[in-house]
Structure 1
Amino acid sequence: MKRLAIVVAGILLSGSLMAQTDSTTHSQESDTVKVGNFIIIKKNKDGNSSSNSVWKDWDRNFDIKIERRNRANRNVSTNWWIMDLGFTNYRDQTNYTAAQAGGYFRTLRPADGPVNENSFKLNTGKSTNVNIWFFMQKVNVIKHVVNLKYGLGLEMYNFRFDSRLSYRKDPNPYVYNDSISFSKNKLYAGYLTVPFMININTSPNNRRGFSISAGMSAGYLISSRNKQKSSERGKQKSPGDFNLEPFRVAAIGEVGLGPIRLYGSYSLNKLHKDITRVEQFPYAFGIRFSRW
């Protein structure tokens, strides 16, 4: 009988201790509230954790401490619908004496003069580059400091001429100086492009840190046209490939400091095919609107 009483007393004592432990744990857990990646800790003004009996009077008896815990960086993250706004131009290495001996340059009327270097001069303030990237992905390589970046998008170049230069395809492509002046005269070229870069992020846990990316891109010409506007003819659109090089390979780069990101690209191959004898290498630079 004594043994049974001792066993029963032991069980009751163990249950009482466990209840006290659970009560303390519950009290500590109730003092901490997690909202997203924020941790709210309710403490007494003397620095001790509160108890449930006075939780309702926190505004008079307690201070609230808010701690922000950084979310874990993902090994693969995706950024949708990125936009670039910038300017474009080209480095012109054309030997115009040799080019005029070919069949790409034409003189339809002697009074209009032959196509020369001045015919390809651009209005730099109105020659624009707009890119829309459908997505870009970043893959962690070394502790989120070194990453791979790649994506898919549409690069759009608008070369705005300060001349009477015209592109035609009738049936073979050629360029010539027109007999009238244009208030708007541009060559549009659009490429479906895949970029590939190595990214270095000096502060992977800080969105306001410094990052730099460099790499290559490969694009394919999907649309091109010569758009002109004049008082004599109104608006005109002349579509065609105009012997533009169908593939584009470029060196690309990006620099980011906090929310501000700048991009640049330089074409490693020529804008026109070799048969034209026109040697122009486009480049672009501007602002990139992106989360990372």
Structure 2
Amino acid sequence: MKNLIVVFTMLCSSMLMAQNSPSISIDGDVVTITDTKGNTWLINDMGISKNGALIVREDEMDEVDAAEDLQDEIDDLREEVNMDDVSENDYEDLLEELTELEEELNNLDNTYAMAIDTAKDSTSIKVGDWKIIIREEGDGSNDVDFSMGKDEYEEIEEEDKDVDNFDTEWFLLSVGYNTYVNAENKLDVPAPYTALEDLHFWGSMDVNVDVFKSRVSFGEKGFVNFNYGLGLEWHHYRFDQDFTILPDLDTLMLVSETIAYDKNKFNTTHATLPLSLGFETRPWDTDESFRMSFGYSPGILIKAKTKHKIDGNSDIEKDRFNLNNFRQEVSATIGYGKFNLYASYDLTAMFKEGEGPELHPVSVGIIVRRGF
């Protein structure tokens, strides 16, 4: 029977009354089986087919236990056919393997059967006992719900990593401590202006308000950005010593006072054009992002004034006080989420050359990053 087409029909004693007689045909690597229900199974190099439909591909045979067992039974049967030693039990075993294969495939169908239901703003996908619901949110992200049966539930937020290449915020605020350093970057103030050296910590403040700040992001993710805006900056200096800065003079002059001031303050106001180059690790989610930037801010002096307060009464004097009309400031920021720090240094001296001490304002503080 070797190298010949072998067709044989074997009936189990328990199937003698069946309407359809089972049969098996072995033709080289092609095996055709008809079971008692009239189903035709074809096993070849393509895989396993049932009634003309491929149900297990050849590359999937190792993943389906019943298909692997069925192939073993067919190999055993092929050897016994070649040895002319085929028994009724061989065919019964083969039919049993076919039954197990069908049951396993049915189980796989029940487990991985997929049903998709699309609503107006959501898509529901059911895979066996798992149900996946994808809902579109107004901010462009997708809210994905996973559920299995009635006991397990997990919700995750699918991140939308697209970043607007252009964005503008309004009225950003930063507040910090304000002081100055000399030409050698020390806190000492040269004579005859040493009274300027003693600053009261809680009254010496730097306040920045960016009327607007626009960000231009580079690339799809926006890890690098360029920022520009328009702002106002107030330097407040509160002195511990009692003296007066005289106005309308060619050089800065301080006059000591015998009166004890409740407050002795000197304030300057500049209009600024802040520019900066920034780096952000998660620009699509700024609440969980680390950032840093380096900036340059030219400014023009708008006004300056002194303020003395005695027994609830205030005396205010407005003048230019020999201040430079223009200033150049460099800055650096670092932060994570909503917590951000800044430091700034004026490249330009506070007072005009030859009309006052060489002092460079320095500020450190915290940024209220979000505007409106």
Structure 2 length-normalised TM: 0.58
The one of 159, 165, 175 aligned to 2:243: 165
- Cα distance in 2 for residues equivalent to 1:278 and 1:170: 17
1:34 equivalent to 2:136? Answer yes
Where does residue 163 of structure 2 map in the other structure?
73
- Cα distance in 2 for residues equivalent to 1:237 and 1:281: 24
- Cα distance in 2 for residues equivalent to 1:254 and 1:265: 9
AA aligned opposite 2:335: G
Task: Report the secondary structure of 2:246's partner residue.
Answer: strand
- Cα distance in 1 for residues equivalent to 2:209 and 2:160: 30
1:82 equivalent to 2:172? Answer yes
Q: Is the 8 A contact 2:205 2:237 kept in 1?
A: yes
- Cα distance in 1 for residues equivalent to 2:147 and 2:208: 55
Where does residue 20 of structure 1 map in the other structure?
none
- Cα distance in 2 for residues equivalent to 1:259 and 1:200: 15
1:269 equivalent to 2:372? Answer no
- Cα distance in 1 for residues equivalent to 2:345 and 2:329: 5
The one of 324, 333, 340 aligned to 1:254: 333
Q: How does 1:57-206 map to 2 (within 5 A)?
A: 65=155, 67-70=157-160, 72-93=162-183, 96=190, 115-142=192-219, 143-170=221-248, 174-206=253-285
AA aligned opposite 1:89: T
Aligned length: 238
Q: How does 1:43-62 map to 2 (within 5 A)?
A: 45=148
Offset, 1:196: 0.9
Offset, 1:175: 3.0
Paired-residue identity, %: 26
Structure 1 length-normalised TM: 0.72
Q: Is the 8 A contact 2:245 2:253 kept in 1?
A: yes
CA shift digits 1:30-89 (9 cap, x unpaired):
53432324535577736xxxxxxxxxxxxx799685543426200111111100111100
CA shift digits 1:182-234 (9 cap, x unpaired):
11001000110111111011222332121100021101110110001124x93
Distance change (3 Å), C-alpha of 1:281 and 1:62: closer
AA aligned opposite 2:215: K
Task: Report the secondary structure of 1:205's partner residue.
Answer: coil
Q: Is the 8 A contact 2:332 2:344 kept in 1?
A: yes
CA shift digits 1:121-170 (9 cap, x unpaired):
21133211111111111111244111111111110010111112212224
AA aligned opposite 1:274: E
- Cα distance in 1 for residues equivalent to 2:303 and 2:245: 14
Task: Report the secondary structure of 1:27's partner residue.
Answer: strand
Distance change (3 Å), C-alpha of 1:209 and 1:187: same
Deviates more, 1:212-221 or 1:122-131: 122-131
AA aligned opposite 2:238: R
Q: Is the 8 A contact 2:177 2:364 kept in 1?
A: yes
- Cα distance in 2 for residues equivalent to 1:146 and 1:253: 15
Q: Is the 8 A contact 1:191 1:219 kept in 2?
A: yes
Gapped regions of structure 1 (runs ≥ 5)? 1-23, 47-59, 98-114
Where does residue 17 of structure 1 map in the other structure?
none
Q: Is the 8 A contact 2:244 2:256 kept in 1?
A: yes
Task: Report the secondary structure of 1:125's partner residue.
Answer: helix
Task: Report the secondary structure of 2:350's partner residue.
Answer: coil
- Cα distance in 2 for residues equivalent to 1:61 and 1:183: 69
Q: Which has the larger radius of gyration?
A: 2
Task: Report the secondary structure of 1:275's partner residue.
Answer: coil
Q: Is the 8 A contact 1:140 1:148 kept in 2?
A: yes
Q: Is the 8 A contact 1:40 1:64 kept in 2?
A: no
Root-mean-square deviation (Å): 2.8
AA aligned opposite 1:259: K
Higher relative contact order (CA 8 A, sep 6+): 1
Offset, 1:118: 3.3
Q: Is the 8 A contact 1:33 1:41 kept in 2?
A: yes
The one of 337, 340, 362 aligned to 1:283: 362
